[in-house]
Structure 1
Amino acid sequence: MCEPPEGGKDHLTAIGLRRAMMGGMDRIPPTRLSRLLTGWSKEGTGAMPQLLAEALRELAQRGDVAPGTVLPSQRALATALGVSRSTVTAAYGLLEAEGWLESRQGSGSRLRGSGSMGEPATEGRLASFGTRDGGIDLSSGALDGLSAVAAAVGDLSADDLTAALAGDGYLPYGLPELREGIAEYHRSAGLPTAAEQILVTAGSQQAVWLITQGLVEPGDTVIVEDPTYRGALEALRARGARLVPLPADGAHGARALARLAGHVRPRLVYLQPSLHNPTGLGMDEPTRRAWAAVLAEQGLYTVEDNAYAELSLHHDAAPVSLAGLLPPAATATVGTLSKLFWGGLRLGWIRASTTVIRRLADIKKSVDLSCPVVDQMLAVNLLRQLPEARARRRSRLRERLAETERLLRDQHTGWRWERPDGGSALWVEIPGADAEATAQLARRAGVLIVPGPAFSAVDGFRHHVRLPFADRDGGLEKALPVLVDCARRSR
């Protein structure tokens, strides 16, 4: 039984590795602080230094930034926020006068705090969900729901519900019929799977969180792609993992992993081989085999996150799993129905060895005893409709992608991107612009967008943003002139 082990192109330089391993430092990078400062200002709502000071004070009061943390220099934070240095200087001065900031010559400005220390803040990743303040929200690539979900609700009969009501409704591992349906989903893609290897979760985000809680201890090293899914970065950072990045550009990452293995012994490796968030790219077969060869040779436990796999722009079939090329007990695979069918259908899963599934189920029981049973009954029906759902999504995504690319070209933005293999967003490079400052300037103009460093373990990709293209309300077309202007001002 293989359990998680203890303990130019290639940007795993000595400096990059050293930055990744500095988990215990009490200095917060300006890029990360800027993402924590969500909703702190809009143009015309008051004096900027006062607003910034209030936002920093709130971080200290809530414990989102630990007492004693060294804040960025005034110049660095001003650059990240897209404001003048005098604004940050005045804000720091206000905090120091109120006793919230302590400045020492040669050691920077340390934040004082009175809030209780809880879970680390999540850099605003979910801040826009549930809010409608009249702005344009491009911070999420979530899609509208498919009509198949409503049809599945209508297909549930009184007899179906009566049969479910005969039990107590507590199913921590998941509805047996759904576990078998998910196992068949994997078998149809060539990956032998038993129902006992499936744990049903409240979406893929809970699946990733459970894996970090069950397989990673504070201080463990975890290898991630750079860039990668920011929800996974948040979960791993909250667990206290030390993150080491590898390039998310095909076989280069596999070669970097082979070189790195002699220096770092990771607890696990987190990958998105089928469709990558945020780049939208997928591994071709030679690349997949190159990764598998290194992972198997080094005996590394692999977490394969296939949350976006069903949003392919090219394929009708279930995604081919990297786990099929690795030792059976050395992988955990994450999947979900929420991306394809509807975000409100909070159903995902983990496929792993029965030993790992039992361990993760015990953790899941501490936060919920069962995903909603009626939702799981719907999911059993929806699994049978995957080919139709894929075709409908693919048609819409292709249409919106073509329209978005035309829009970017017509605006003569000069922005660069690689056409994705799937997903609902473009990974866009804005040459010469500062992505953090662009995002902050856009926020103050009523447009929410996610800058590239939010997807990086080492705050890289300072010239990239993720640009969702699948909205149906023309939000991107309205927002693009604002973003172009903000990018220009950020230079």
Structure 2
Amino acid sequence: MRRLTPSQLSRLLTGWSLDGDGHGDDAGGDGGSLPGRLAGALRELAERGDVPAGTVLPSQRALAAVLGVSRSTVTAAYGELEAEGWLESRQGSGSRLRGTPLTRENGAEGRLASFDERHGDPTADAVDLSSGALPGIAAVDTAIDGLSAEELGPLLRTDGYLPYGLPALREALADAYAQAGTPTRPDQILVTAGSQQAVWLLAQALVDPGDTVMTENPTYRGALEALRSRGARLVPLPDDGTGTPTGPGAVPGAGAVPGAGTGAAGGTDAGLLRHVRPRLVYLQPTAHNPTGRSLSPAGRRAWAALLTRLAEEQGLFTVEDTACAELTLDGDAAPVPLASLLPGASTATVGTLSKLFWGGLRVGWIRAAPPLVRRLAGIKKSVDLSGPVLDQVLAVRLLARMPAARAQRRGALRERLAHAEELLRAHAPGWEWERPSGGPALWVRMPGADAEATAHLARRRGVLAVPGPAFSPVDGFRDRLRLPYAHEPELLERALPVLVESVRHSGP
């Protein structure tokens, strides 16, 4: 029997409270009231099959606390669903949601559910801080304007199906890795529809249901969704409860503060890896999402030595995600992947152009050994015969503009980070954060707050944000919020007072 935790259900419930009027709580049952909208959102989960039939929902009290509403609101919503036959309540066994023909055996965890709300006008009034993705830069306009019939003509005379990716793009990516100090051949590159598809493909290829996978805690929520949907057993790497690595063996990405964690990776970390014997370790060593931390040079060498040894001893595979690595804040050099220090047969690196150039440019890739690339391409063909060729032609042009784009993006990030920190000091003096080494967001601690209730309360007032548990394999970091600072400053100026006010109403 599956049970949904309050955190899991709160992630799946998106959009239902956007029409609310601040912190008011209406216990009525019609479709326009808060209980009615909550009942409608729960009904929609059942209709879409997002929640398996027979799933036990959280208690009324627990769900009310995480949603930031009164218990009477949840009681009324549950009562409406029970009257309609969508919910079955039994004394001592809780409330079970009924299913439909669409019901899946294993429902999603809703870590990416905030993207469900992106089906309307992207310029609508809501202040959207649910994503750290950035608007496109001028280089994208220039590349589009520069496309010519002469360049596209040879491609248009083919059928356009390129399951491994545009050959010119695979060559350009291999060259980019070589220039960064990691020799790479084109047959080591598979082009994907962004880094999310890349992570999903690796989960499909390398993880069987029940396999243990270790991740940082916190980590990229899209990776958690991809791995959990594959049936992986997720185990967090050690940390001190805040995402800060423990001991001298600093955990990559979860993430070693530059200059910290310079000792050999051993002790707790090595012992746990050997004891748990995971099939795969997923890491973000540079500009980690959501903490913004990066692994120190000494920490990289120590972890590379440990991962290499465990690959030889127990077949451990390492997936390195460098999606945000181009967004470091110090210097303008190209990032050097951890893969340069790891055995190629047991390592895959994920990359993307979406963070540096534009989220709408769905071009990512996997760098791996050729046999794995061929296996991944076979899986990809079953769901995606070929990526968009025009996007890949643009990507070739944009790769030639990487140094200038890197300098432009990093300069803008530094300016906006300074502005965001000034705003936080002025309007949220009790909040805590660590200055990131990269990435587009701050990992903020709100002492005494419930981040999930805060996010739901803020959503009712038109501000969309993602709470800490969405980034944790064990639903931790309940007082944390990922706060993107890289958007237009006016967005954060509008959002911050709402978030601060929501924190005041989210506590016990």
Q: Same fold (TM over 0.5)?
A: yes
Instruction: After TM superposition, list the pairs within 5 Å mapping 1:90-489 onto structure 2.
Output: 90-118=76-104, 120-121=107-108, 122-123=110-111, 124-132=113-121, 133-246=124-237, 247=239, 248-250=243-245, 251-253=249-251, 255=266, 256-299=268-311, 300-472=316-488, 474-489=490-505
Given the alignment of the two structures, is residue 56 of structure 1 paired with residue 42 of structure 2, yes or no?
yes
Q: Which has the higher contact order (CA 8 A, sep 6+)?
A: 1
Given the alignment of the two structures, is residue 27 of structure 1 paired with residue 13 of structure 2, yes or no?
no
- Tell me the CA shift for residue 74 of structure 1: 1.4
**C-alpha distance after superposition, 1:317-371 (max 9, x if no partner):** 2211111111121100001111101111111100000010000001111122222
**Runs of 4+ more than 6 Å apart:** none
CA distance in 2 between partners of 1:402 and 1:182 (Å): 33
**C-alpha distance after superposition, 1:402-430 (max 9, x if no partner):** 00100111114311000011111111000
Contact (CA 8 Å) 1:79, 1:437: kept in 2 or not?
A: yes
Instruction: Output the amino acid matched with 1:284.
Output: S
Name the counterpart of 1:83. 69
CA distance in 2 between partners of 1:64 and 1:128 (Å): 16
Instruction: Output the amino acid matched with 1:378.
Output: L
Moved more, 267-276 or 288-297: 288-297
SS at 1:261 equivalent: helix
SS at 1:461 equivalent: coil
Unaligned runs of 5+ in 2: 22-30, 252-264
CA distance in 2 between partners of 1:79 and 1:482 (Å): 19
Contact (CA 8 Å) 1:63, 1:113: kept in 2 or not?
A: yes
SS at 1:490 equivalent: coil
Contact (CA 8 Å) 1:280, 1:420: kept in 2 or not?
A: yes
**C-alpha distance after superposition, 1:470-489 (max 9, x if no partner):** 11261110111111000011
Summarize the Cα distance change of 1:412–1:139 in structure 2 as closer, same or farther, 3 Å threshold: closer
- Tell me the CA shift for residue 177 of structure 1: 1.3
CA distance in 2 between partners of 1:393 and 1:171 (Å): 31
Contact (CA 8 Å) 2:286, 2:438: kept in 1 or not?
A: no
CA distance in 2 between partners of 1:336 and 1:461 (Å): 27
Q: Percent identity?
A: 65
Moved more, 78-87 or 465-474: 465-474
- Tell me the CA shift for residue 130 of structure 1: 4.1
Contact (CA 8 Å) 1:435, 1:451: kept in 2 or not?
A: yes
1:73 aligned to 59, 63, 82, which one?
59
2:14 aligned to 38, 44, 47, which one?
38
SS at 1:303 equivalent: strand
Contact (CA 8 Å) 1:60, 1:115: kept in 2 or not?
A: no
**C-alpha distance after superposition, 1:278-328 (max 9, x if no partner):** 111111112212222221221120000000011111132221111111112
Moved more, 363-372 or 440-449: 363-372
Moved more, 443-452 or 88-97: 88-97
Moved more, 185-194 or 244-253: 244-253
CA distance in 2 between partners of 1:73 and 1:373 (Å): 50
Moved more, 368-377 or 64-73: 368-377
- Tell me the CA shift for residue 104 of structure 1: 2.6
Instruction: Output the amino acid matched with 1:120.
Output: G
**C-alpha distance after superposition, 1:70-97 (max 9, x if no partner):** 1111111111000111221222222223
- Tell me the CA shift for residue 115 of structure 1: 4.3
Q: How many residues align?
A: 467
CA distance in 2 between partners of 1:412 and 1:166 (Å): 59
Summarize the Cα distance change of 1:103–1:213 in structure 2 as closer, same or farther, 3 Å threshold: same
- Tell me the CA shift for residue 131 of structure 1: 2.8
Contact (CA 8 Å) 2:443, 2:482: kept in 1 or not?
A: yes
In angstroms, what is the RMSD of aligned CA positions?
A: 1.7
Instruction: Output the amino acid matched with 1:27.
Output: R
Moved more, 188-197 or 429-438: 188-197
CA distance in 1 between partners of 2:77 and 2:222 (Å): 30
**C-alpha distance after superposition, 1:448-479 (max 9, x if no partner):** 01000000111100000011111126111011
